[in-house]
Amino acid sequence: MRILVTGGCGFIGSNFIGYLLARNDLAKITNIDALTYAGNPANLAGVVADYGERYEFLKADICDAEKVDQVLSKHDYFAVINFAAESHVDRSIDSPGDFIHTNVVGTSTLLNAARRHGVERFVQISTDEVYGSLGPEGKFTESSPLEPSSPYSASKASADLLALAYHHTYAMRVVITRCSNNYGPYQFPEKLIPLMIIKAMGGNALPVYGDGLNVRDWIHVEDHCAAILAALMNGKSGQVYNIGSDGELRNIDVVKRILAYLGKPESLIEYVTDRLGHDRRYAIDSTKAHRELQWKPCHRHEEGIIETIDWYVLHPEWWTPLLKS
């Protein structure tokens, strides 16, 4: 079983590659990544050492139709799993064109190529941000309307609709997963949790947007990887699966947990001007994934965040070069 993983040098993609190879002795993975700022081959150093010929890497941009066609001509692929994306909301506000190009055009290129080459399954990795912002109660379900608030989330919603169109028009076996906020090892340090850990370790000010009361549903990346594998093998074509862990926390509470564990004062918190279009609350209803995919998260946030902090404390050789890039 060979799978094409796109964006596999990023945070979630690299974790998924290691997760799958460790659990399926028959799996082989080809990873293509354009190696933009968040694509880091060091994320997969252990995979290369442990799995040898079961893993291969090719530098490629998913928007390059000719290159993607060459990659898909190389093997008989069981599936394409599309992690490749520009994913940072702040960057999308400054440079929306980059997000539209990679997230929409790139997804279209992959869908066309997968269809031409007869790839059996296509999994589109999306985000709960396509639903917009929730009020103080309720949760997003798969039938919630798409109301994206940023160029990033709008580009992901567009890619989702393209993927579903290929299911309906061409009978491609397409599944979409929409996950809540991930945390864990190898996350690029522009994201909230690794950014706060690294700044707190150095005794630097921790910038918190607005009043810090924005709520996110946090899920450990390993639980997300398990859900993606379940969606690949058991997901119904043309369906969307929400992936969350019932781990709702206010941003400020996440920051305070990090400070407390590291023994740093809350005086390091610095409230800064809120981000444009900042969604107030996300919460995911994963009932459908529990029922149809037989998946449930295993990590409790209390332990998971401590494990994550410890990982960053123990691996400065991984994140220190990224601060200089």
**Two tokens, residue 84:** 């490749």
Report the pLDDT value the prediction gives residue 94, as an integer from 0 to 100: 64
Nearest to 252 by CA among 274, 285, 220: 274
Pairing, β 215-220 against β 248-250: antiparallel
**Can you give the pLDDT at residue 100?**
87
CB contact set of 256 (below 8 Å; sequence gap of 6+) = 266, 269
Full pLDDT tens readout for the chain, 325 residues: 999 999 999 999 999 999 999 999 999 999 999 998 788 999 999 898 899 889 999 999 999 999 999 999 999 999 999 999 876 666 766 667 788 888 999 999 999 999 999 999 999 999 999 999 898 889 999 999 999 988 889 999 999 999 999 999 999 999 999 999 999 999 999 899 999 999 999 999 999 999 999 999 999 999 999 999 999 999 999 999 999 998 899 999 999 999 999 999 999 999 999 888 788 899 999 999 999 999 999 999 889 999 999 999 999 999 999 887 6
* Residue 96 φ/ψ, nearest 5 degrees: -65, -30
Cβ neighbors of 302 (< 8 A, separation 6 or more) are: none
152 is annotated as an active-site residue:
yes
Domains of the chain, CATH where assigned = 2-183+219-245+280-300 (3.40.50.720)
Catalytically annotated residue among 51, 77, 131, 152: 152
Token readout for 191 is 């994201």
In angstroms, the CA 279 to CA 313 distance is 30
Which one from 128, 222, 248, 285 is the annotated catalytic residue? 128
How far, in whole angstroms, is CA 272 from its chain's centroid? 26
Q: Report the distance separating Cα 293 and Cα 258, nearest Å.
A: 33
Where do the H-state alpha helices sit in 185-315? 192-201, 221-234, 251-262, 287-293, 301-314
- pLDDT score, position 182: 96
Q: pTM above the 0.85 mark?
A: yes
Q: What is the pLDDT of residue 277?
A: 79
Cα separation, 106 vs 168, in Å, equals 20
> 129, 222, 223, 285: which one is catalytic?
129
pLDDT given at position 56? 96
